[in-house]
Structure 1
Amino acid sequence: MPEAPDAETAWTWLLERRPMTRGWFDDTLPPIATAAYSEPVLRGLFPFHTHGTLKFIRDAPPWHEPPIDDLPFIVLGEPPYGVYAAGCTTCLGWGTTAEDAIGLVVAHLPTVLGGDAAGHQS
């Protein structure tokens, strides 16, 4: 499966469900991808669909091995959507809609990406 060369291309492929790219086969992805793309801070990150989740990577390929995976992510499926801290050890909350789940991700981003020390969007 080809990897998109940059975040903009990755978002385009994800939203268009371009065949043979990340997430094209996952019918639970479109509402989350659309909601995530509507958030400018997330739109600047590389969307990474893997193992039933949507993760956000700070940079585009080529990555360190493995890529730096330190941001909150969403477990896909039917609502409610689980939002977890990197490492999958801490559940940050549940979103009853795709927009709610994306709001939780944004609220728990590090300060340099849009959240604050208390975990609120700036």
Structure 2
Amino acid sequence: MAQETTVEKTWPLMLEGAPTARLGSPEVIRAAYAEPRLRALFPFPSHGCLTFHRNTEFPWSSDLPFIAGYAPCSVYAPRYAELLGEALTPQAAAALVVAHLPLDCGPAVDGPWPQPGGRID
């Protein structure tokens, strides 16, 4: 049997309300987990936001849309570059994040995000 990835270990902890997930909204976490493409990414709750990353350790990819707030929710492009939608339910916010994911956004890789000029093996 294959060993669980960091992403596969992290989502259940967040869904159970582990201390590391205390900064996230349970409703937003559940809605994001229900989306298969988001479930493949590394979730990171912080400062009232739920961000998603292509990797599991700092430095983060930080190039994906994310959810801010929890009723109402807002969805932002990476680094607050643009408001993609607001006053959304957690489910609508998660769907909007998925709609704005890059096409090449696959499962998160274990480890830090490569620095410019680096590569993912």
Please give the TM-score of this superposition, normalised by the length of structure 2. 0.76
Structure 1 segment 67-86 matched on structure 2, within 5 A: 67-79=60-72, 81-86=73-78
Q: Which runs of 5+ in 1 are unaligned?
A: 115-122
Q: Do 1:46 and 1:56's aligned partners in 2 also have CA atoms closer than 8 Å? A: yes
* Distance 1:52-1:86 versus aligned 2 partners, 3 A rule: same
Residues 1:93 and 2:85 aligned together: yes
Q: Distance in 1 between matches of 2:85 and 2:50?
A: 15
Q: Do 1:95 and 1:104's aligned partners in 2 also have CA atoms closer than 8 Å? A: no
Greater share of strand: 2
Equivalent position of 1:52 in the other structure: 48
Q: Distance in 1 between matches of 2:88 and 2:62?
A: 25
Residues 1:104 and 2:104 aligned together: no
Q: Distance in 2 between matches of 1:96 and 1:87?
A: 19
The higher-RCO structure (CA 8 Å, 6+ apart) is 2
* Distance 1:25-1:87 versus aligned 2 partners, 3 A rule: closer
Q: Distance in 2 between matches of 1:76 and 1:13?
A: 20
Runs of 4+ in structure 1 off by over 6 angstroms are: none
Deviation at 1:25, TM superposition (A): 5.0
Equivalent position of 2:112 in the other structure: none
Please give the TM-score of this superposition, normalised by the length of structure 1. 0.76
1:61-118 Cα distance to aligned partner (Å, 9 max, x none): 2x3xx31100000002321x1100001120011252111101110000001238xxxx
Q: Distance in 1 between matches of 2:89 and 2:23?
A: 21
Q: Secondary structure at the match of 1:111?
A: coil
Q: Do 1:45 and 1:57's aligned partners in 2 also have CA atoms closer than 8 Å? A: yes
Give the % identical residues: 44
